[in-house]
Amino acid sequence: MSIAGISELAAELRRIVGPDGVLSAAGEMLVYECDGFVVEKDTPDVVVFPRTTEHVRQIVLLCRRRQVPFVPRGAGTGLAGGSLPVGGGVLIVLTRMREIVEINLRDRYAVVQPGVVNVKLTERLRGTGFHYAPDPSSQGSCTIGGNVATNSGGPHTLKYGVTVNHVLGLEAVMADGTVCEFGGPSEDLPGLDLTGALVGSEGTLVVVTKVWVRLTRDAQSVRTMLGIFESCDDATAAISDIIAAGIIPAALEMMDHGILEALEQAFHFGFPLDAQAILIIEVDGLEAGLDAQRERITAICQAHHAREVRHANGPAERIALWKARKQAFGAVGRISPSYCTQDGVVPRTRLPHMLRKITEITARHGVRAVNVFHAGDGNLHPIVLFDEKNADEMRRALDASNEILDECLACGGSVSGEHGIGIEKIDFMPKMFTADDLDAMSRLRQAFNSEGLLSPKKMLPTAGACSAERSHPGRRAAV
């Protein structure tokens, strides 16, 4: 867009949201040139911060009138480039829509604006006997709107499910500027489940402006354990056996030696640095029976040569353990300037194979990966380390990442468990889905977003996004 065009657009947007709600200076755009997937970068022409649904509606109508692409963004913690403004346009940042509109404990739901940071709802509900179950490791910064758009999971997904299992309804601004409601506070509405279709649509179908979320009763009791293992094989074999024994832990997370090293450097939690892997295992529910489950899990870990199974001694130790887990990605900054987090899923029994493969693949490409992941779901997060100033190293890191995802597919798995496809994994869509599947998805997008102005070139290769085109508007970090 020309400089004159940008300043005209910015002026029109300021008339909608006020003078402090628009950014358009080139330097200010740099903050918004990528999300947590730092490999692809592209700056928006203008960034706008609506505070109401009516603001969003008017912004969308303006973009439509001017035929300018627009992309919704929450906190920008996404790891697949979902909020990347490919080719420019207007970035609609929803972080000023951060009101918790209603908490209804009797009917067990809350209504929130999309920019509410996930942990703020947890904090508001503390002491009520209820909580909002989806707890991505990024919950201290990511927004509920972003969680809805990516269908986020988290450590407690194993027992409690992903975001779609906790969304009762949505208010959204459609790509043509109309405001619609889907679902609502009541359970089990008849008709097509459009709420289900919108959750996980990665900002390509609607701009979410309000969310009805289900509240879950707090468990009566909880037991948290730390299993310490001499090898990743033993740790992953223990995971399969725990689930095979009929126990569904609330959470079952694994961290390997590399990530423990990074965590220790950053936060000095006191993890054993000579261990090859640790498991954080949590069971919850009625008090009666939890000790028996804990003993069974301990026995299974010991049968797989666990060096030690520590039991968290009270809430303070439990909180410290979870804090460590949730700060693991952040700690990687201590050992590498940049990293790319993969999100493959495999059947649990294939975890030992995949961890060996990750080591083999990364070594062959001359890069290193550390692992912290939702092991109980078979949802791997190999974090491939590189320096984005080194183009060759970045290329090798991406090649290794792609090979890891190919291996997940070969194991009967998936290329994304929770981070979504965004721009990063578009090329994998035809590997996972048939042409007919992709065509059906594309027709759904066409029904919601007929002009293709809402978040173009994301998620579906059929919407004109393919690797050849991607290298065009986007800018690789190191090149």
C-alpha to C-alpha distance for 113 and 91, rounded to whole angstroms: 18
State phi, psi for 19 to the nearest 5 degrees: -65, -25
Tokens of 219: 């468990």
Binding mask 80-109 for ligand FAD (x = CB under 6 A): --xx----------x---------------
Tell me whether residue 22 or residue 71 sits nearer to ligand FAD (CB atom): 71
CB of 95 to ligand FAD, least distance (A): 8
Tell me whether residue 200 or residue 237 sits nearer to ligand FAD (CB atom): 200
- By CB under 6 A, tell whether 145 contacts ligand FAD: yes
- By CB under 6 A, tell whether 72 contacts ligand FAD: yes
Binding mask 24-43 for ligand FAD (x = CB under 6 A): -----------xx-------
C-alpha to C-alpha distance for 189 and 251, rounded to whole angstroms: 30
Which residue in the set 53, 58, 143, 298 belongs to the binding site for ligand FAD (CB under 6 A)? 143
C-alpha to C-alpha distance for 388 and 365, rounded to whole angstroms: 16
Hey, which residues between 449 and 468 contact ligand FAD (CB under 6 A)? Answer: 455
C-alpha to C-alpha distance for 427 and 442, rounded to whole angstroms: 15
- By CB under 6 A, tell whether 371 contacts ligand FAD: no
Q: With CB under 6 A as the contact rule, which of the stretches 146-154, 214-222, 403-411, 439-447 interacts with ligand FAD?
A: 146-154
- Where are the strands (E) in 184-240, listed by range? 206-214, 216-217, 221-229
Binding-site size for ligand FAD (CB under 6 A) equals 37
How far is the CA of 477 from the CAs of 238, 389, 419, 443, 471, in angstroms? 40, 8, 20, 33, 11
C-alpha to C-alpha distance for 113 and 454, rounded to whole angstroms: 20
- By CB under 6 A, tell whether 79 contacts ligand FAD: yes
- By CB under 6 A, tell whether 419 contacts ligand FAD: yes
Q: With CB under 6 A as the contact rule, which of the stretches 66-74, 122-130, 273-281, 389-397 interacts with ligand FAD?
A: 66-74
End-to-end, the C-alpha distance of the chain in Å comes to 23
C-alpha to C-alpha distance for 205 and 174, rounded to whole angstroms: 7
- Tell me the one-letter amino acid at 73: R
Tell me whether residue 72 or residue 413 sits nearer to ligand FAD (CB atom): 72
Residues of the shown chain interacting with ligand FAD in the complex, contacts defined by CB under 6 A: 35-36, 71-79, 82-83, 94, 114, 136-138, 142-143, 145-147, 149-150, 152-154, 202-203, 207-208, 329-330, 418-419, 455
